[in-house]
A = this chain, B = another copy of it.
């Protein structure tokens, strides 16, 4: 493996780790007996989604209509747009559907359901369920769940099911608590489906998921599919949550040492927040890695060394415990290359137009990705 041809900063992906992460999640889904509909918002990259499909994934989840457009153009036709739909976006959804894309949308309110049902096209719609009091969704016991279901089913829409995302799982770091959150996500979403069915409404799809709950679930009775995204790359937040090991983190940023401030124990690099993103997701977790954990160029973690600060194109590297080590300048002289593991792979990946991929044989290839809306 020779990374010397790569300009810095750049986003490095370890193909063997991606393959391992995909197979690990696929095996977990086989064990649980459910389909996997991976969320492609993490990598936004066709070669990644193709590997997920090859490992058995059925359909994909997207966070923007641009992702739907891009992946449909590349042959993915079973797509769930997992952000609440608004009337102003229905024309684009309809155009995609009329071109053959089985694009499904979600709603969590009566006004949204009524707008979709009245839009003159049999949109496939899932009702978003709030199973963890975290963000959006209808609580499973709320009366309006049935009102929304009826507005869709008795209006002009196709009530395709229910979906939920237990984002609160990111705040946990205990295996038992994670398993309990996975069970809560499952039970409450299934409960919503049962209420709809008891009211005579259809509910074929029961879709749940997040990387932490997907990897922590012990049973998923009543669930038809799981959505998860960040598991393809994993990151330091997932390491803190406890659902991956450091050697499963497949994304890093290659950086070059550009200077030192010896009296502060600082090594300065050319990977600032523009490269890492401003995500400080480990700040409130058991281990705060600053803007990232530091590895040598070969990817070996240097225990205790972190990216403690960032400006736009400057990163500051030092010991996590803050002690001043003037020998860092000798250890990592000007021009030394380091790899920084990200707090949040979705945010860091989004800073780059493509990935420099280290193949299983050590050869470098490139995977394109896209951004924007």
Contacts and interface: CB of A to CB of B under 8 A. Distances in A.
Given A83-B258, A278-B279, A373-B10, A111 B167 contact: no
A258 B84 contact: yes
Contacts of A75: none
A41 B311 CA distance: 12
Interface in A259-312: 259-261, 268, 270, 273-275, 277-280, 311-312
A9 B373 CA distance: 7
Contact of A136 (B109, B256, B268, B350): B268
A87 interface: yes
B372 A259 contact: no
Interface string A326-340: 000000011100000
Contacts of A89: 7
A145 to B, nearest CB: 14
B167 A311 contact: yes
A112 interface: yes
B335 A87 contact: yes
Interface range on chain A (Cβ under 8 Å from partner): 35 or more
Contacts of A36: none
Nearest to A92: B7
Interface in A333-366: 333-335, 344, 346-347, 350-353
A1 to B, nearest CB: 17
A133 to B, nearest CB: 9
A158 B59 CA distance: 59
B259 A64 contact: no
Contacts of A136: 258-259, 261, 268, 314
Contacts of A88: 8, 256, 335
B278 A63 contact: no
Contact of A260 (B10, B109, B311): B109
Contact of A268 (B84, B268, B373): B84
A240 B302 CA distance: 38
B347 A259 contact: no
A300 to B, nearest CB: 21
A112 B273 contact: no
A115 interface: yes
A234 to B, nearest CB: 16
Contact of A371 (B7, B8, B314, B353): B353
B277 A86 contact: no
Interface in A113-168: 115, 130, 135-136, 167
Contacts of A335: 86-88, 115
Contacts of A85: 258
Contact of A274 (B256, B257, B350): B350
